[in-house]
Each structure stands twice: as C-alpha cells, then as structure tokens.
Amino acid sequence: MEVSAQTSELEQIQDWKVEVNSSRDTLRSMQNRLELLSNKKSDEDSLAQIEHFQNQFIRQLEVSDEMFHDLKQCAKKISNNGQLAVLHDDRPVDDCSTMEDRMQTFRKLYNELQEEFNAFSAFS
C-alpha cells in the first residue's frame, strides 16, 4: 500500500472516530432529555415510548462502542501493513471500504433514531 493511500485511509478512520464519539455524546444528551420527559409523563402510551427510546439508546451506545473499537482495529491493521491481532467474524474490520459500509449503516440508524426521538420530544 502506498504511504499516501495509507495516510488517507488513516485520516478517514480518524474522522469516523470523531463522528462516532460525537454521536455518543448526542445519545447521552438524548438520554438525559428522555429522563426529564419521563418525570413529566405517566400515561401508558408515553411510558411505552420512553421504554422504547431507553432500549434504543442503550443499543445504539453499544453499537457506537463496537464501531469505535473496530475503527481502532482497522487503523492498527492499516498501520501494521495488514497484520491484525483481533478479527471479529460478526464485525468485519478488514479494510477501509468495509468500514465505510458499516459507517453508512451506523449513520443511517443513528439519524433515524435521532429524528424519531426529536419528533417524540417535540410533542412532550
């Protein structure tokens, strides 16, 4: 791999790590907003929605932790010229294009959750 291509991929991965960290911060903020909403709402429908969002936030934070870890592993692999110490069969970190596909999916699910929660909290 050429040094410039390697550097470019490492810079891209660093950008994704920043994006994942930012999403984690936003998810924690949404969790705090949800907690405030849960103190105001007691009807059955609202409580079901609150539980739904609690579960979604927990899962999305888990996914973001996995993504961050896997981005670090991908960067290590690139830096070590293809040698990777840990490989997850269920979470491929083979190359930058694989991680790009995973980041697109991560963004899509994160944005959908954020939009859904913002719609819910706007009416509460």
Q: What is the pLDDT of residues 1-44, one digit of tens each?
A: 455 777 888 999 999 999 999 999 999 999 999 999 999 988 99
Dump the DSSP string for 65-98.
Answer: HHHHHHHHHHHHHHHTTT--S---SSS--SSHHH
Q: What is the pLDDT of residues 52-72, one digit of tens each?
A: 999 999 999 999 999 999 999
Kindly tell me the sign of the dihedral angle through the C-alpha atoms of 40, 43, 49, 51: positive
Range of the domain at 111: 3-122
Name the pLDDT band for 98 (thresholds 50, 70, 90). Answer: confident
> How many domains are there within the chain?
1
Global pTM reads 0.84
CB 71 within 8 A of CB 16: yes
